[in-house]
Structure 1
Amino acid sequence: MKLLCCNKIILILIFVFSFLSASDRYAFIYSKNIDDPFINFYDKVVVEADAIDDIYALRYPKKMVAYVSVGEIEPWRKTPTPYKKSWVISKNKTWNSLIADLTKPAYQNFLFQRVEKLYKRGYRNFFLDTMDAYHVTRKDKKLFQKQQKALISFVHKLHKKYPNSTIIINRGFEILEQIHKDINAIVAESLIGRYDNSNKSYKPVPKADREWLLSNFNKAHKYGLDAISIDYSNGSTKERIDIAKKIKQLGVIPYVTDGLLQNQGECEVERIRREVLVLFNKSIFKDKNEVYSDVHLIISMIVEHFGYIPILYDISTKDLPKSVNDRYHAVVVWSDGKTKNNEKLYNWTIDNISKGVNILFLRNFVFNPTDERVKKLGIKYIKNQNSILEKSHVIYYPPYKKYEIPASIDYEERLIQPVNSKKVLSAIYPNNQISTPLAITP
C-alpha cells in the first residue's frame, strides 16, 4: 500500500514538474497563410490582424496576439485618422516606414486608437514592434532620453489600460528595468540565422552578435520574462527545426521562419502536418465541379482513410501555391488537360523537392517530361522495343504486393527507369525490357 502511494506521488510530481518546465511556444506570421491546426500547435500566435479574418481572434482570444508598430508609422496602413507629418522625425528606407516622435501626445493617442480598434475586433494580446526605432536620435542625448522616457510611459499606460492582456515587445532591452512588470515576454531577431531585406539574403549570425543577444536574453530571464528569438532560414522544414533546437539549447524560446514572416514557421518540436495538397484541373469535369473529379472520388477517400485531410486545389484557376512545406504533409498531382500552370509545375516541383516535400504524380507529369527534366527527378526513359501487341506482366517488390486485383500496365512507347529508387512494381515485357512506373525516387 505504501509503495503504491509512493508511486502515485512520484507520477504526480513528474507530471507537475514536466508541466512547469515546459515553455510556451510562440509563432509570428504576418500573412493570411494561417489555419486552425497551426494556431492550435502554438500557445501564442502573433499576427498582422489586417491580413486575416477576425474570426481567429474571436475563436482563440488567449492565443492570438495583434501586431502593433510603436516606434514607426506605417504610411500604407488604413487608419481612422491619418498620421501627421509633424510626428515624423526620420525614415526607415529598408522597410518603407517613418520613425515616429514618441513624445507627441497626439501620436500616442494615435497608437491607443489602433490598440482600441484591435481590442474591439477581438484581440486581447499585443505585440509591440519597432521598440528601438527611436535609436536614430542617439546622437542627440537630450532628444534620445526624451524619446526613451516617452516609450516607457506608453508601455506603462498600455499595461494599466489592459492589465489582463499579454504584452510582448520586440527588443527594448535598455528599458527592461523600467517596464518588466508591464510585459510578459521579449523578442529579438536572429540568434543563429538572420535575413537581410536590402538584398533578400539569409546569413549566419556572427558569434559576437549572438553573445550580445544571449546576455540580454539572460537579463530578461532574471525578470521572469519569456525570451524569444525569431530566426530566419530559407531551408527545409527539417533545417528550420534543427536551428530551433540549437536555439532552445541556448535557453531561448525559438521560432524559425522566412525573412518576411509569410509562411508557417517552426519551433523545436515538429508539427505533424495532417493536410495533403491535391493539385488537379477542375475545368475538365462536369459543370467544372470537383465532386465529379477523380481526386474527389478516389484520392480523397484514400487520404482520409489514413487520417489525413485532402485539400483539393484547382490549378486551372489559381496560381500554384507559393508555400507548401510549412503547411502540408505531402502533395498529390493528378491533373489532365491544359492549364496555365502545366509548364510552371516543373520548376515548382523541383523547388519543393529541394525543401523536402514529398510529391506523388499520378497518370502523368502534367508538364512536358523531357529527358533532361525527368533526369533531375531521378528518372530516365528508354525506348520500348516491343510491339504494341505484346503484353507485359507485373511484378511487385517486397514489402509491396497485389491487393485483390493484380495490376496491369498499358503499353508504353517509353519505358520508365527510376535511378537509385525504391521500386514498388515493374512491368516486364517479353524481351525482358523493364518499366517501373511506380517507385519512390530519391
Structure 2
Amino acid sequence: MNKLVSLLLLTLFLVSIISAYLYLKVSHEIKPTHSIKVIEPKFAVYYGCINSTIIQILNNFSWVIIDPTQVNSSQLHEIKAVKIAYIDLGELANMSLGNLTPPANVIIGYDQLWNQYIVNVSSPSWQEYIESQVTIVMTMGFQGVMFDDVDVVEQYPFVAQGITSIINWTRSHYPNAIIGVNRGFSLIENISKMINFVLFEDYGTEVTSPGQISFSNYSFVIRETNLLKSYNLTVLALGYANYPGDIYWNTVKSLAISEGVPSFIGNWNLSIIWLQNLQIINLKFE
C-alpha cells in the first residue's frame, strides 16, 4: 500500500514538472519580449505662412502638402521635398491664385465647422476655375495636387460627376502629376485609377470646433483603410492633437501603425509642424 502511494506521488510530481516545462516553453515562444521599429515615410501637411524657417523644416520631409497661396515660385524652388498643392475642390476657401476670381452663383450649402461655403462642383464655371488653379500651381513648380473637400458628395450626390470630371481633366493634362484627394470614400471606385493617394483626414482624431479635438470612429477608419488598400492606393493618415505625445497624438500613431500606413499629426488648423512626426516609432510587445 505504501509503495502504491509513493508511486502515485512520484507520478504526480513528474507530471507537474513536465507540465510546468511545457507551459514555460510555450509561453516563451508565444510572448517573447522584443521591439519593432517602424520608420514612417516623411510627409507633412502645412497650410500656414511659408518663410525661410518653415522651408528648412519642410526639407526634413519627403512629401509636403502646402497651401499654394502662401508660397512664391522662388520659395517653392528651395523646398526639396515633393511638393503637392492644396486645392479646395468642394468648398469656397479663402484662397485664390493669380488674378483668378471665384465664380458667382455656385454656392449650394454652408460648412459651419470651417466657416466656408459649399459649392456646386458640377458647375461649368467652377470647373473652369479649378482647372485654372491646377494650371497655375503646376506652372509654379508643384509636382502634384491634393483636392480637398471631395466628401461633400456625401451630402450632395449630384456633384459626383463634376468631381470625377475635374480629376480626369487633371490626369489628362498632367499625366505625370501626383494626384490625391482628401477622403471622398464613396467616389474611390470611380476615381481610383486616376489618383495616386488618399489623404485620410480624421485618422483617429478629428476637429470638432476651432481649437477643439476629439476622437473619431475607429471602426470606420479601419474599414475605409482596408477599402483604399484594396484599390492599391497610397494612404496618408492625417490626425490632430493638442501637442506631441498627448492622448490624441498617441491614438493616431498607434492606429496608423496598426494599419500599416504613414501618419502626420498637426494642430487643429495645420499651422504648426511638429518635428516629432519625424521620429522613429518603437513599439514594445510584452
The aligned amino acid for 2:46 is I
CA separation of 1:32/1:264 partners in 2, compared to 1, >3 Å: closer, same or farther?
A: same
CA separation of 1:61/1:125 partners in 2, compared to 1, >3 Å: closer, same or farther?
A: farther
1:162 Cα shift? 0.9
Tell whether 2:35 aligns with 1:27.
no
When you count helix as a share of all residues, which structure comes out higher?
2
CA separation of 1:43/1:76 partners in 2, compared to 1, >3 Å: closer, same or farther?
A: closer
2:243 aligned residue (211, 235, 241): 235
CA separation of 1:52/1:166 partners in 2, compared to 1, >3 Å: closer, same or farther?
A: same
Q: Which has the higher contact order (CA 8 A, sep 6+)?
A: 2
CA contact (8 A) 2:55 2:78 kept: no
CA contact (8 A) 1:71 1:131 kept: yes
**1:171-229 C-alpha deviation (Å, 9 max, x unpaired):** 1111111111111110122222222225x312223xxx211122111111122111122
Tell whether 2:214 aligns with 1:203.
yes
CA distance in 1, matches of 2:193, 2:167: 10
Which one has a bigger Cα radius of gyration?
A: 1
Partner of 1:179: 191
CA distance in 1, matches of 2:164, 2:205: 30
Partner of 2:222: 214
**1:133-161 C-alpha deviation (Å, 9 max, x unpaired):** 23332xxxxxx2x3112211211111111
Partner of 2:92: 73
Q: CA RMSD in A?
A: 2.5
1:266 Cα shift? 5.2
Structure 1 gap ranges (5+): 1-20, 138-143, 272-442
Secondary structure of 1:224's counterpart equals coil
Secondary structure of 2:160's counterpart equals helix
CA distance in 2, matches of 1:61, 1:177: 33
Structure 2 gap ranges (5+): 1-37, 281-286
CA separation of 1:268/1:119 partners in 2, compared to 1, >3 Å: closer, same or farther?
A: closer
Superposition TM-score, scaled by structure 1 size: 0.50
1:151 aligned residue (150, 159, 163): 163
CA distance in 1, matches of 2:62, 2:233: 15
Partner of 1:133: 152
How many residues were matched structurally? 240
Superposition TM-score, scaled by structure 2 size: 0.75
**1:103-162 C-alpha deviation (Å, 9 max, x unpaired):** 21121010011111112221121111011123332xxxxxx2x31122112111111111
CA separation of 1:62/1:264 partners in 2, compared to 1, >3 Å: closer, same or farther?
A: closer
Question: What is the aligned-residue identity percentage?
Answer: 17
CA contact (8 A) 1:243 1:256 kept: no
**1:357-394 C-alpha deviation (Å, 9 max, x unpaired):** xxxxxxxxxxxxxxxxxxxxxxxxxxxxxxxxxxxxxx
2:131 aligned residue (103, 109, 112): 112
CA separation of 1:29/1:203 partners in 2, compared to 1, >3 Å: closer, same or farther?
A: same
The aligned amino acid for 1:260 is N
1:45 Cα shift? 0.4
